[in-house]
Amino acid sequence: MILRYLGHNWRQIDDILHQIGVNQCKIAHKWALTLLDGGFGVLDDDGRGGKHNDGFYDQFPELEIQAKAFAVEACSKKSASFTTVDLAKYLDEQFYEITQTSKVNASLVRSAESCRLDLRRWGAKFQSNSQRPYFEGHERDDVVKHRQEFISYFLERKDRYYTISEDEQPQWNLPTGKPCVLIFHDESTFKSGEVSAKRWTVDGHTPFFSKGRGRSHMISDYLVQHPSGPFFSLSEKEYEQATRAYPNLLSDSDDLNFNRFSATAGINVGEQGYFDNVTILCQFERLFQLLPFKKEYKDHDIEVVVDNARTHSAKEYNINEFGKGIGTNCP
């Protein structure tokens, strides 16, 4: 049709098709009539295209299961030494073990290139070895045991928590047992000079680039697993009741900048220090003073999951308090 649109007659088109080795006009016309008379079933009966022979994993489906499990385990290890050659060698060993045959040459039953395609088909990605959760000592037996106990505690009590449905439009699921509000404490640092990694620019109107990231402001806040969330705060009326009971809530803190109606606190890093034991305890004291006045939490249990950081237990020492010799005074 394109050639006809360009002004070629059918004989010229037939010559062009013949030169490039495709069906000529007569053959194409014949197949068009066949398709109109017999429908798509005629093309299916012709047996062209598709899969003609069983693949490697069609003949050995158990090998695919073992290979996939091997790949997942290898990709989960801390070391980044796993390659497609390792998978190919593993398949080679398992193949001869399953078939009870002996290896007669150095060739692999499935090449490393085919294994690369297998990995991609199984959902694996070959990407930069960075920007993932890191750990240090999290695999210790005592840490693993504590983590399992921590998770089990919440799973056993899940009927007491407010949860979110997994629908396209999530809704709150109300607890069926005695209701409990989960509060999560966490901290984040924001820099005044932070910019997006990419931006739109126009020649001649490009602004200067900020070399530094600017001053830092650290926020310590409380996320609540409750329909009144996402952050903990009181209404104006509730806050007035709280200040009548605890007038110190109206006082400014030398170390923390509190948001009104809540226990959210901020620190200008470098000017007001950092969140340590003293400031964290001060913030939690304010939280515990405000919580009883939250009407939506009435008759609810409260559980707080606290962010753990080394700075929360930090303490300043004077170097002069340390002895110079081994075994001498140490604070």
Domain segments of the chain as ranges: 2-46, 59-121, 179-191+214-313
pLDDT category of residue 234 using cuts at 50, 70 and 90: very high
Which pLDDT score, from 0 to 100, does residue 273 have? 57
What mean pLDDT do residues 134-142 have?
69
Closest C-alpha among 327, 314, 308, 306 to residue 273: 314
Distance, in Å, from the CA atom of 198 to the CA atom of 250, rounded to the nearest integer, reads 43
Task: Confirm if 116 and 84 have CB atoms less than 8 A apart.
Answer: yes
Q: Compute the distance between CA of residue 319 and CA of residue 147 in angstroms, rounded to an integer.
A: 37
pLDDT at residue 181, as a whole number: 93
Q: What is the mean pLDDT of residues 87-109?
A: 91
> pTM here?
0.51
pLDDT over threshold 70, residue 103: yes
**What percentage of residues in the chain have a pLDDT greater than 90?**
29
* 290 vs 249: CA distance, rounded Å: 9
Write out pLDDT tens, residues 256-306: 788 888 988 888 766 555 677 777 888 888 899 999 999 999 999 999 998
Identify the CA nearest to 300 among candidates 177, 164, 184: 177
Q: Indicate if the pLDDT at residue 13 is higher than 60.
A: yes
Half-sphere exposure of 101 (CA within 13 A, CB side): 8
SS3 sequence of 113-170: HHHHHHHHHCCCCCCCCCCCCCCCCCCCHHHHHHHHHHHHHHHHCHHHECEECCCCCC
**Which pLDDT score is estimated for 2?**
64
